[in-house]
Structure 1
Amino acid sequence: MRNFLKMLSKLTIRRELLIVGILFLLGLTIRIGLIVLADEPIDRDALEYYSIAENILGNHSFSIDGVEPTARRSPGYPFFLAFCMAIVGNNPNYLYFIQALFNILTILFGYLAMRRFAIKPQIRLLILFLFIFSTSFIYVNVFYAEIATMFFVALLFYISVIQKLNNKNTLRAVLQGIIIGILILLRPTFLYLPIFIIMAVIFYRICFHNLHCKEYIIASILALCMLLPWSIRNRLVFHQWIPLVSAGGSELWQANLEIEDRAVWYSVTDIGKYKDQRAQSAQLQSRLRSEYIEQFNLSSSIELNNYLKQRTKEIIFSHPFRYAVLCLNRFLIFWFSPPIGATTLKSISPILFWIILIFKYSITILAITGLRQLSKHNFEQFCPIILLVVYLTLLHSAVHSIQRYFLPLVPISYFALAYSVNVLSEKYKILTTND
């Protein structure tokens, strides 16, 4: 058995590029098959993205209905779709094909990062296999910004591990700032990331005195500067610098309204029950929102959102323990959400479901351990990456948690998993190059 494992290990090392090529081809084939065979319904979010992209191409400005400018969506993803439409046309399947290619490129950046970081070939192939066949690929045939967001997070991570940039910190900071700016334009979730980075590195500098802040401040300021054209447009059209929050962005606040009226623990292992609970929560939020509008005579979304902020803060301070429980629950959902298709799998074989669930939880714990090891290995090099993970985790644990919101961290978590397994293999002398 040991001789067989040695032979298999040597084969994977010698034929690594061939195996990688086969895996990528198989992964792309599966994604194309999903696009062709699966008829995914287009929901409101996806339809609005698609409509805005069509109107951009039709010279109707950034608008959902082709008449009135909108602030409901951030600009990055609609412009990405419009660019793709200009190349391949308006057929949704063709646009999905481009998303599939971007998804494969995301995985490629993860693989190249593992090669540059000297992760052992056998571990690289194992993690590549897990990454290619992770359930995140099902989002290639829906118009959500997550596929593009994953790509730029993977690119941000790849820039962090390029050794040629180790002596060109300013250039790396500029590239990181541009990518963070693109992420903000893709998803307003990232809006406060530059401010969070500046505050975190200054705090770290004060406490430990061994961190160069200049590069991170450059990256953060550049990211904020990339928002200026869009912010000026918003100021001229909507008389606000950031109207996204006041034009339909109340979901982050109203997600905490349930603390007063119902249990605050969502299922972490049963995705069917989790969806039912979320539907009940959405109905509760809608009812409360209607009651607030009628009771306090709120005439605009801005007034409603301001009241929701005020009301939510009152609820949180009145029920701190319930809010802490809800945050813990959201943290578990954010990092340990059950695999997509879990309900079907459980109905087929509960034992197989629990085996897969335990495996998923185990690799998640290893990934979190790998992130900690990366921060200890070279905090300066991975500072923006570590802070990005902390920022999104804190944000979604505190205010909102949907499974797909985790997707931007998927490339980072798989690399962290590879790093953690690599450290374990070196510690216990497994998969040594002499085998």
Structure 2
Amino acid sequence: MRDEPQDAPYRPDAAITAISDWIGDAVEPAAFPAHQLRFRNTRWDRAVGLGDLSDETWLDHFGRFVPLPDNLPRPLALRYHGHQFRNYNPEIGDGRGFLFGQLRDGNGRMLDLGTKGSGRTPYSRTADGRLTLKGAVREILATEMLEALGVYTSKTFSVVETGEELWRGDEPSPTRSAVLVRLGHSHMRIGTFQRLAVLDETDHLAQLVDYCLAQYPGPLPPADAPGHDEPAVILLHQAVERLADLAASYMVAGFVHGVLNSDNMAITGESFDYGPWRWLPRWDPTFTAAYFDHNGLYAFGRQPEAIRWNLGQLAMALRPLAEAEPLIAALARYGACYQQAMVRRFCWRLGVESREMESDTALIEQAEETMRTEGIGPDRYFHRERGLDGEPVSLLIEEVEDLWSAISERDDWEPLHAKIAAIRQLGQALGEPPVPSGHLPGENP
């Protein structure tokens, strides 16, 4: 059985205020015409001491964005750059979201409350800073399913429908609006480091490394690794382990993120920001999630390489703080870390004990061949092999569209609630996932 998130007191800790002068911009949230609570994460609100809030107080904080007690006095839109489909873009940042608060869970882990669809910021460019209700529903589903499958993911904490009509090119319009709040381990991205390096803000870059090591601690590098006691090198080693584990977790889950740009890569290895995601209908390494990914850069089978490429950009951003040799040595660990994570996660989902690398790798290869030959995806394969085929839970695009149709056509939320309940039952059946590589024991993913 999987352990439920443990109840904990409210422990505000706005540590980011120490670097807020150069890491972001204070902004004002949008004033919405309506506030209707559509989703409240009753598993995780207790884990950060907010489970006793009334729904009206909840709406004050997560719809109107009244500051939480002893927390950030104003929301902070974070600054970052990033490679988007391998093209560097310095004109990005939090364009429809902000950091709303920081707090600690019962294990002392730093968590962020960040938004999506909360209004325009200095980085919105021509966009309206809003989120469609369909986009919010899709993020609920993605995060719930990934959590059940053991992926280290942000949690959808709150969704409030906001009463506006939005026009979008990829949805029938006008469409309903919402504001979403995520609970996540960090909003520090590879692109955050890239921005500071490009702007030659070396002092700030060093401060950001120190901040991340203090707030998101992990195991130290191997004692024989070159530069193993240098902060920038330590951070890269931890990022390599964490993101290699993330790549493996996507593959074992049969999940395609769709947009693995460097601004969508958290240095904690936590998955977040769900746009055109998909689950595999069958085992196909060329399967893509984003209709605009014309060259299949982020296709299912290319995700491990895409994440490795982004880590290379982090290494280059850290170059002002460390010599090349120890950074290259840290990157060189990615392949081995990925293979170890694949074995650990595959055996966990299959419900078997890991034996030794060669035989476990052969098991994975045989499973992939079986899925290819039979034309099935990981969901069906693992359910069948683990004896869970009587009640298989999947999240293919047709199911997602049916759930949305019930809401958009009849305002019927029961199918969504039933799906969430089934997904959480799946998580219980699978049991406690392995501790993500690069994290300390006791951290609940």
TM-score (norm 1): 0.24
Q: Which has the higher strand share?
A: 2
Q: Which has the higher helix share?
A: 1
